[in-house]
Amino acid sequence: MKTATPICVLALLLTFAGLERSAEAGYGGATSYNCCPTESCAPSGDYCAAKSCCTTTYKTVKDICWDTQKFTCYKTIYDTVCERIPVSCVQNVWETKYKCVTYNVCKPVYKTCYRDVCYTVKKPVHRTCYRDVCFTVKRPVYKTCYKTECYTIKKPVHQTCYREVCYTVKKPVYETCYRTVTCRTWKTERQTCYRDVSYTVMKPLTTYKCIQTDCGYWKTVTEHCPGPMVNKCVPDPCDPCGGTKNICVQAPGRTICRKVWCPKKVTKKIPCTKWVPTCCTKRVPYTVCRQVPCCTTKKVPYKVCRMVSECHTKRVPYTVCSYVNQTCTRKVPYQTCEWVEECCTKKVPYQVCEWVEESCTKKVPYQVCTYENQVSTKQVPYKVCKQVCKTKYVTQARRVPRQVPVTMTRCVPRVVCRKVPVCCNPY
């Protein structure tokens, strides 16, 4: 595209140059003054006379107009597609095994022995002695004394008096009467009836159904992947200047191997057991109770109470209290304290310590170590390498070309004819 743009510009310039030459030729050289001789440009008489001798003619002139035209071309776009390819590889698996190894060890055997050791210790002997200590103490001596005190009190004197009080009492008088009452009672009657009850019982029902399982296998398929589309610069045969142009060329493809799953449908018949509800009917007895009304007559006693007033008299006591002054005497005790010195003697104990030497004997343990040879067996681990075939999937991206329509605009030349007046001399 970059090379094609200068080529289009050059073509346009050449076209305009050709049009200019054709216009000059169309006007008889009137539009160009470069080719005119000097004698032709010199004044040749009167302009008015020459003007009256000119005749007007029309000449067809072709002009080139450029129109915009849209066209559709196809552009190659590459899409990246990722696919999973199974790859077989070998993986080393280390397995731990054990073997028995016999070895000799020297086992120490310890034996405890005792020996007698004599030693001297000083043992303290404590003895308690007493000494007399004199001290003086003051002891309080309490003495109780009494003093006479006079005081006045008011002594209450109570006197009981009586007064006559009249009061009215209403005494209830009860009288028993009878009235006839009709009672309505209900009597229960029981009747046994039967009804049909439906119940559901689950029973097993075995059916068979066919299922399809996939027992396929992997098959290696070889396929050819086309190469990507690349731009290649080639000489342009339409360009007289020896220009180049870019064309889209597909690169050589490659062959890949991939595994494809080949399905194989196998039909199997399997039993299916399900529980189906079954409806059954049984007769169930039930009791119907109903209430039957019954009328009875009875006499019901009732009491009528009426109040009768009675007048009574009673003696009500009341107390009259009067206070009388009375002088009394009492003895009030009080204490006096006197301190008396007293000499006392007490025995104070003290400790006397004496050290006495004493010979003792003790058994001191000591250990004697001897070594014995002993044969032992232990499990020694070692690793063994084992190769295991494993299939893993590798994600590989490949480019898939596709053509996409692209709308572009180009300029197309168009020839337009028009009439141009030309003045010429007929003579």
Split into its structural domains, the chain has a count of 1
Q: Is residue 304 part of a domain?
A: yes
Query: What pLDDT shows up at residue 209?
Result: 85
pTM over 0.75: no
How far lies 223's CA from each of 258, 393, 402, in Å?
A: 8, 18, 19
* Contact (CB, 8 A) for 127 and 351: yes
Q: Is residue 291 part of a domain?
A: yes
Which tens digit of pLDDT belongs to each residue from 367-384?
888 888 888 888 888 888
* Contact (CB, 8 A) for 9 and 17: no
Give the span between the Cα atoms of 205 and 8, in whole angstroms: 88
Give the span between the Cα atoms of 378 and 373, in whole angstroms: 16
**What secondary structure does DSSP assign to 118-160, as a single string?**
EEEEEEEEEEEEEEEEEEEEEEEEEEEEEEEEEEEEEEEEEEE
Q: Is residue 225 part of a domain?
A: no
- Is the model more confident about 299 or about 24? 299
Element spanning 56, H or E: strand 55-214
Which tens digit of pLDDT belongs to each residue from 131-174?
888 888 888 888 888 888 888 888 888 888 888 888 888 888 88
Query: What pLDDT shows up at residue 40?
Result: 47
Q: Is residue 328 part of a domain?
A: yes
Q: Is residue 86 part of a domain?
A: yes
For 268, counting Cβ atoms within 10 Å of its Cβ (0-12 exposed, 13-18 middle, 19+ buried), the class is exposed
Q: Print the domain residue range for 197.
A: 45-216+263-424
pLDDT at 24 over 60: no
Q: Is residue 275 part of a domain?
A: yes
Q: Is residue 335 part of a domain?
A: yes
